[in-house]
Each structure stands twice: as structure tokens, then as C-alpha cells.
A and B are shown apart, each in its own frame.
Chain A
């Protein structure tokens, strides 16, 4: 059921990322009763030049571990990871790949500018430090200690650090985790402005709307495996279908249910209060029928959230208790969020 878009390659013929049967297991601590944890369980993935790919999955799906292997921070237990045709660490040394990691990882008692200078000094050549600080919108804060900056400002700093070597591949590991809505919005705006010029981008997220808004392609992972891979729109429609609801009078409900179930693509019809709740892949047809001959009114069409997406694609729930409860009060798209109200 997987459709893998054929990735483009550059003149060297090497894709930006090539993962082959990648496996990573963690041994339990000595003396603990835990069993071996398989974080990544055989991932195959090819990302071509200039692709913007979302790595979407619940917490504990193996996203960070996979990205760690792409960046050479962790060695795979088995399988191979290649970045631009070479081992990840060699790509890092060459400045071809860089990353914005999750929160943490900055020295609190350095200033913003000192942090940029320090990381810049590890590369043979980078853009001028002040220019990088300006571009990240940190000029006014450059003399401030990292510990005195907000989470969003610190993330902009990490972003500035990642852009220092002008990498061809940029990896973002849940770059907006812990940010409030405004900061998330600003972060993605900066991303759009700066990382759109032909850079290959792979970002992990558990927000479906981030994947939807920014990626051309979604790779859905759960339990350390790729469960779906395709263009964003396709994954979304396959993942969720749509839910169409409308108020239908009591005596019309039974015949309407029967009529709706005869429509192709309708998987479920329920009565909830005075509404009929229809799950279907072709929401337009359902809407037309409901508003037309079935006499429904007050129609709403909604798309399902990430949890429903996993259910639909894998036939099981994301499993982990942490799934679907993102940190810091940012609501993930759980349940239904109105996508559009038809006509």
C-alpha cells in the first residue's frame, strides 16, 4: 500500500538521504528488568534533492533515533544510513548537513553572539557571524545570555547555528516543541523564508497541521517503521477520509442512512443527537446528497486528526500513552477540527 515518490537525484546520482533497513535497539541497563527496546525497526527511506519531507509520528515512534542516525550522532545496530552518498559523519564534517535539535543543548551562560561564534569556529568556512545573527532576527538580542532568552528565541538561535555551514540538507527534530502558537508561527515563517531555496529539509513532528502546511511529502512512522509514505495531500486523504455531519430530522434519518451507505466511499454512518455523522473518502458527494435530496442542514465537514490517521492507516491506535498529548498545552489536532464549511 506504500507509494514512494521517485526521488530526484543530482548530477552525482546520490540522493540526499538513503536509509536501508535501518535498525536501532537499546540494551536495557544492567540489573533492570526491561527488555531490549527496538526504537527503529527496519526503516527504508530515500529523500531526493530539494524535497521537503515531514517525518510524522507519535512520541516514541522512533523519529529522533532515526534522525540521530541520519546525523551520525548514533550508530545503527544494523542497516546503513548514507547522506549524499557518504557516511553521515563525513557529510557533517563537510558541512553538507546540519540540524535543529529539540530543546536543550545550548550553554546557558554564553551570549547569543558568543554561541554563534563558537559553533562557527568549528567550521572551515561559514557566512559572517553578524550576517547569520541578523538573518535569524537576533541582532537586538546578540549580547544577551542564552539563559535570559525565551524558548522561541533560543530556537531561533539553534536555527541560526544550523544555517552556519549553509547545508544542503537541513534536519529539524520537532523544532517547535514547547513553543506557544505565536512562536511556532514565527518559526515556520522564518523557515519558509530561509530554507525554501532548494535546500532539502527533513523535519520530525507530531503535529499533523505542521506536516500539512510545510511538507510536500509525508512519511508516517509508528513503532519504528514507516507505515505510509506519499505526497502530503494523498496521505491526508488516505489517512483520515473526512467526516461530514448534518442535522437531519428523526423520520428522515433511517432512509437517509440507507441512501448514504449506498454511496461509494462511505465507510460509516452514525446517529449522534439530531445529527448524522458520515465517514467517507468523497466528502463532496456526501455533502451534495445530504443537502440535496436528504434535506439536511447546518452541514460541517471535518478532517480527522493524527490519531485517527494512524487508526485508518495501521488499523491500530498509536499505542503509547504519550501519543496525542503534546507538551506545554499545545493542542494537537485531536478529534475533529473544522476544515471547511461547504458553500
Chain B
């Protein structure tokens, strides 16, 4: 059996290439297959396991990350295509060693139950609020519609988002 092994290259496994990714403000040099997906690189090569694999086809949103501030699903994004872009994962959301307002609010209002979809929601909400700091409920619903949750029925998330916006506002007012 030892003698006659076929090599992975014959089996269609391709050689790795060096790429550079900037994730949560830090640069990483990585050797990945050209077909490597950003989600797999984050989870397996960098041990950033906060981004989750809930499906394999951009249907659930659990793998959402920000690429240059835009919420994108990393399960169908080639890692090699994200070079020279700023990637933010859920690990980069908490600020100065404390929970971001949206993270605290999701806990307080029950926006997270099993928590598997939560990292994706964190990223989607972050990108929503960056673009539209005071969204209506319809705008929130529409923004969240690409992220699926099977626990919460979404209702408590709306409260959490409202409360996070309020907390941010008060925080800003206090800082002034």
C-alpha cells in the first residue's frame, strides 16, 4: 500500500500561494490554495473562529465579515481576492477591552440565544449603523434579512439595536 500512493497533486489538489491579508488592523502573511475561501482561512489558518459556517452557499449569514466596511459573506469569498482590503471580523468589534454597545445590548435584550448566528449579526448591524446611524424598524428588518436565526424570531434583536443606538448616543454626549 505504501508503494503505490497517488499524490494529492494528481488528485487535483493545487499548490499553495502566498497572500497577505489585513484583518482587524493586523497584517498576516499566509500560504493558501488559490481556491481557499476567506472563511476557511480565518477559521483554520488564523484560528479566528468567531465567524461561523452555517451553510456553504451564502444563505445564512453566520460568516459575515466586513470587507472595507461592507458586510460580506466570507463562505463564498476567495481569500486571495481580499488582499489589500481591510477585513473586520467579529473579533475586531469589541473596543478598548470592553464590549461594544451592540454586543452589550444583544446580551441584555436576549438578541442572542444559542449565539451561533450572533457574530454574523454583529457585523451586519455594525455595517448598517455605520451607513445609517438611525434606521427605522423597516430598515433594520431589511438589513438583517440576509442573516438567519433559528432561535429568537428576531424580535428581541430590534430592541437590542434600538438600545445600542441610544447607548452610543449617550456615550457620545457624555464624551463631549
* Bind each other: no
* B-to-A contact residues, CB < 8 Å: none
* A-to-B contact residues, CB < 8 Å: none
